[in-house]
Structure 1
Amino acid sequence: MGVATLLGLPLYPVECLVQCALYLAGGRTPARALRYSPVLFHDLSYLPLPFLARHIVGAADADTDLVSRVLEACAIAPGQRKVGGTALAELQAREIGKLIETFNFTAALSLKGRWLPGRDTDSNLLRALAEAARFLAAADSTYLPHLAQQHLNEAEQQLAATDIQRLQSREPLARFVPDTLATYRRALALLRERTAQAAAETLPNPFVTTNPISGSMHWGRQIFRGREAVVRQIEGLLGHQQNSTSLALIGPRRCGKSSLLNMFRLMLPDTQIVLFDLQDNPATTPLAFYRALAEQARVQADQDRRLQLPAFPEGPPIEALRVWLDALENFTAVPRVLICIDEFERLASLFPGQGQDLLQFMGLLRATIQHRRRVRLLVAGAAPFDELDALWNDHFINLREIRIGHLDRPTAVGLLTRPIDEFPPETIPLVVAEAAVDRTGGQPYLTQLYGSLLVDRLNDDKRRSATQADLAAVEDDVLDQAGYYFRNVWGDLGTTAQAVVLDAAQGQALPPAGVSLPALRRRQITGDNGELLVPVFGRWLRERQIDA
């Protein structure tokens, strides 16, 4: 009897009758009756009260403060915790649905509301709904209808994934998610209808002029052109397990090295790619570099394959790196791991005044190149090893060097005339595309930049086809937007090479006697006779550099 009394059983029938009566009596004013709910007066209730969750939800719009107090009381009373959790989940589902219905995507993304908990929530379903709101917000805010359509496609994929997730979830929210998803899909349909007309009147602009191309981009695989032979060569070199070949990818700036490395994640399915760009991952000490490399490997393996790579161990930096590489060599969940270090010329800056540390690191890389089978190395940069000091040439002597440069003329012209299947014919006519490639020499970044600026100009003017006059007009913008690239190319040249390039820019094709051109040819700055391969670079030199 003592236990029954403790559980509140003698009072429970009375509380049930009271709660039922209050719910029924509430009618159109449920908040007025909810203030007398037994949960507010008895915090040792061990059995759930009927209709309490429905009563809470019904009163929420009229008196949020009262409902908050009832939910707090439910959290205290053991028997009402599940009831309160169910009511709160329904309120959250309804609130995020209303935010979506009113196109308040920013608040939905932040999970910001009276009942919503904010972005720090433990609810996987709420985080999934917030992620879907992110894509809707992006689609609603962009001025580019084709980009909006891409965001809407991503939102639709996220909603489908959320629908699957709620079937597997044990959260109280799961039972209310279907109605919320229906609201999302209605908003999605309205946004599609809104952007369809604008998209029909606007040319798509798939050209990439900022970040490197990647397979995750909407049109990434279509605009990645002209590297089939390089990919086949790399596939062949990596394909034999008994072959320990490691690679050096050498090419001028902005010629597509980083894009090629990104695409490896799609094109080399039997290899775990680890991409580490020394420019995007600044480190000031060897240990910071080693740890960052291991962390990048861990994150990318988890993203790509849900693999858990070995952690970076404790200990002296170079010994810890050796142990980690040995652990990768013995990691059998994937046939091989290809560690790609981009901008490798920056490595020396991590070891200022520590010659011994740099020698130890280079020695470890050399051992990896020569002796490890599963772990392969790829370094990418602009400078061939024979232009660097002996340290690089000695330690990287066994790397297989692969060169990457400008696009060949047919590929560059095809990229401009038909970058993607949806690109309307004659948007950039053949004669305009050929003239643009005459100016870029097939340099990938500049070719994409001309294409992007031409499409922007057509959309601004609400026209459908470019002319030679458009090409001349956008070249001024090319000089401005490519200025940083041109300055880097210029800055990489020595004084003698700069003099040769300036002469070439002013029409003097052949260099002075005794001046060697191999380094300029390898960087695809000049041709066999000393002529500039990228004429628009010559114009930049004449108008922006010589005058400076």
Structure 2
Amino acid sequence: MTSPQLPPNAYTNAPQQHPNLILGSLQLLFWLVFRPSAWRNHLERIDPALDSDSSLIILLRQGRWRNLSLWRLFIQAYFILPILIPIFVDLQGAPSSASDHAGFLYNLAREMEKSAKKQGVTLPSLAREVLKSDPFTYFSEWLDKVEQALEQNTALLALDEFEVLDNALVKGRFDEQDVLGMLRHLIQHRPRFKVLLAGSHTIEEYQRWASYLINVQVVHISYLKEAEARQLIERPVKDFTLRYEPNAVERVLQLTRCHPFLVQLLCAEIIVLKNEQDPSIRRLATLADVEAAIPEALQSGGFFFADIQNNQVDATGQAILRSIAAQGEGAIVSRQTLLQQFPDADITFKLLLQRELIEEVDDGYGFQVELIRRWFV
């Protein structure tokens, strides 16, 4: 926090980069693919004169050797660039909203082209009219040209929100065998591409996907370790001057269970709260501050909680969660009691456990994360 009047909200900026060159390089790759705002904030922290929309390749071509931090960035770039060129496609956008295969493949190619351009890589264009007669054949031929444009590089094709594409398959807009067969062929037979599917659901929940993607590796992203969460709370950036009382840190950990998004969400609201307080108490977060920030966190993070409620559980799951939530913080409801209320919900209980919304304690169930419980009260 650089200003005594209005400290910037460090929890919404890029976190401090890992000091290890290799791990820091992987961190950069993650920011480039999934958190472009963190990449921009990282560049601004290195040198405010840098164009925050620049990619690694563009920065290297500019040859801007300003300071030690830039030297470090360029060294890390050489770890990343010969390996992967990240190409990000949000399937919640145009690709999955298309009305037919030609529209889907055209939008997919266009998003790939736009994403690659941000990395300083020019991919060939694909005309929509070409796809109308035989969309998958012409898309495959376009991929041949893309591989030529990649030269010796490999593209990391990151497809986010794959569940949205599944909804389009269920509605019958796209043919399952054609679309998923194309994806499987891409994974198996195009070594210049590495495919990353990201979503809040598991492949096992989508049987049609599981049968096509039998050779994929599932990476489960869960909670931070406690030491990592403490660092995120107390030292999200270098020279962070807000201090937390020990019981305030413990309370943040209790409320979030070290969930990375929820830690940042709650701490961001604590910062907002502190900015409204008298300067004499602004730089020390107390237990009372943490408690006061909870309602604001539930409101500002509403999209996160609403996604759990509306997209990750069905009506029975919602009823189970509300029933457990009503018992209060830390409550464990016996399995027998819940089965009396929901006698045919064995599959739902398994899903709630798989989603890490509840956990089994002795012979009962309770919420894993207190902030999520608060949402369902």
Structure-2-length-normalised TM-score: 0.72
SS of residue matched to 2:218: strand
- Distance (whole Å) between structure 1 residues aligned to residue 17 and residue 321 of structure 2: 31
CA distance in 2 between counterparts of 1:202 and 1:470 reads 17
Distance 1:343 1:520, change over 3 A: same
Counterpart of 1:243?
Answer: none
Offset at residue 401 of structure 1 (A): 0.9
Cα deviation digits, residues 353-411 of structure 1 (max 9, x gap): 547733211111111111111112111111112212x3111111111111112222221
**Secondary structure, aligned partner of 2:358:** coil
After superposition, give the CA deviation of every residue in 1:310-339 in whole Å (9 maximum; x if it has no partner): 222523322222112222234443420111
**How far does residue 496 in structure 1 lie from its aligned partner after superposition?**
3.5
Aligned 1:149-164 pairs, distance under 5 A: none
| Structure 1 residue aligned with 2:136 | 318
What is the aligned counterpart of 1:526 among 353, 358, 371?
A: 358
Larger-gyration structure (1/2): 1
Partner Cα separation in structure 1 for residue 25 and residue 346 of structure 2: 35
Task: Specify the alignment match of 2:42 in structure 1.
Answer: none
The structure whose RCO (Cα within 8 Å, separation 6+) is larger is: 2
Distance 2:171 2:301 in 1: 35
SS in 1 for 2:98: coil
Structure 2 equivalent of residue 287 of structure 1: 102
Match of 1:368 in 2: 186
8 Å Cα contact 2:11/2:267 also seen in 1: yes
SS at 1:421 equivalent: coil
Q: How does 1:247-286 map to 2 (within 5 A)?
A: 258-259=34-35, 268-269=80-81, 270-281=83-94, 283-285=97-99, 286=101
For 2:154, give the aligned amino acid.
Answer: R
1:292 maps to a residue whose letter is N
What is the TM-score when the length of structure 1 is the normalising length?
0.51
Aligned residue type for 1:495? A
Query: Alpha-carbon deviation of 1:469?
Result: 0.9
What are the Cα deviations for residues 59-109 of structure 1, in whole angstroms up to 9, with x where unaligned?
xxxxxxxxxxxxxxxxxxxxxxxxxxxxxxxxxxxxxxxxxxxxxxxxxxx
Alignment of 1:387-466 (within 5 A): 387-388=205-206, 390-424=207-241, 426=243, 428-461=244-277, 462=279, 463-466=282-285
Pick closer, same or farther for the CA change 1:396–1:230 going to 2, 3 Å: farther
After superposition, the Cα gap between the structure-2 partners of 1:281 and 1:412, relative to the gap in structure 1 and judged at 3 Å, is: farther
Asked if 2 retains the 8 angstrom alpha-carbon contact of 1:416 and 1:447, the reply is yes
Cα-to-partner distance string for 1:27-86 (whole Å, 9 max, x where unaligned): xxxxxxxxxxxxxxxxxxxxxxxxxxxxxxxxxxxxxxxxxxxxxxxxxxxxxxxxxxxx
Where structure 2 has 5 or more consecutive residues not aligned to the other structure, the ranges are 40-54, 57-76, 340-344
Are residues 416 and 527 of structure 1, via their aligned partners in 2, closer, same or farther at CA, if it must alter by over 3 Å? same
1-side partners of 2:272 and 2:171: how far apart? 49
- The 2-side partners of 1:521 and 1:440 are apart by 17
- Contact 1:407–1:444 (8 Å) recurs in 2: yes
- What is the CA distance between 1:457 and its match in structure 2? 1.4
Give the gaps of 5 or more residues in structure 1. Answer: 1-145, 147-195, 209-218, 236-248, 250-256, 543-548
Structure 1 partner of 2:14: 220
Amino acid at match of 2:88: L
1:258 to partner: Cα distance: 3.8
| Contact 2:14 2:38 (C-alpha < 8 Å) held by counterparts | no
Alpha carbons of structure 1 residues 536 and 309: separation in structure 2 relative to 1, 3 Å: same
1:89 corresponds in structure 2 to: none
Shift of 1:261: 12
Distance 1:423 1:508, change over 3 A: same
Assess if the C-alpha contact under 8 Å between 2:92 and 2:165 holds in 1: no
In structure 2, the partner of 1:509 is: 333
- Percent identity of the aligned residues? 24
Amino acid of the structure 2 residue aligned with 1:395: Y
Q: 1:381 aligned to 2:194?
A: no
In the TM superposition, residue 445 of structure 1 has moved relative to its aligned partner by: 2.1
| 1:394-438 superposed Cα distances (whole Å, 9 cap, x missing partner) | 111111111112222221221111100021152x33431221121
Do the aligned partners of residues 508 and 200 (structure 1) sit closer, same or farther apart at CA in structure 2, a change above 3 Å counting?
A: closer
Q: What is the one-letter code of the residue matched to 1:312?
A: L
User: Which residues of 2 match residues 36-435 of structure 1 at below 5 A?
Assistant: 199-208=3-12, 219-222=13-16, 258-259=34-35, 268-269=80-81, 270-281=83-94, 283-285=97-99, 286-305=101-120, 307-313=121-127, 314-315=130-131, 316-351=134-169, 354=172, 357-388=175-206, 390-424=207-241, 426=243, 428-435=244-251
Instruction: Give SS of 1:521's match.
Output: helix
> Counterpart of 2:196 in 1: which secondary structure?
strand
1:473 to 292, 297, 314: 292
Deviation at 1:345, TM superposition (A): 0.9
The 3 A distance-change label for structure 1 pair 383 and 262 is farther
Task: Say whether residues 1:540 and 2:375 are aligned partners.
Answer: yes
User: Equivalent residue for 2:318?
Assistant: 498
* Inter-CA distance 261–205: structure 2 relative to 1 (3 Å threshold): closer
CA distance in 1, matches of 2:91, 2:292: 37
Q: CA deviation at 1:291?
A: 2.1
Is this contact kept in 2: 1:276–1:293, CA < 8 A? yes
Instruction: State the match for 1:240 in structure 2.
Output: none
Contact between 1:440 and 1:535, CA under 8 Å: does it hold in 2? Answer: yes
Cα offset, 1:231, TM superposition: 8.9
| 2:51 equivalent in structure 1 | none
Aligned length: 310
Separation in 2, partners of 1:413, 1:308: 42
Deviation at 1:508, TM superposition (A): 3.6
The 3 A distance-change label for structure 1 pair 372 and 281 is: same
Instruction: Give me the whole-angstrom Cα distance separating, in 2, the residues matched to 1:379 and 1:526.
Output: 25
How far apart, CA to CA, are the structure 1 residues paired with 2:192 and 2:299? 46
Q: AA paired with 1:509? A: V
Once residues 434 and 231 of structure 1 are traced to their aligned partners in structure 2, the CA distance between those partners, rounded to angstroms, is: 31
- Is the 2:159–2:197 contact (alpha carbons within 8 Å) kept by the matching residues of 1? yes
Q: Report the CA distance between 1:281 and its aligned residue.
A: 4.0
Distance 2:18 2:103 in 1: 33
1:281 and 1:421, CA in 2 relative to 1: closer, same or farther beyond 3 A? Answer: farther
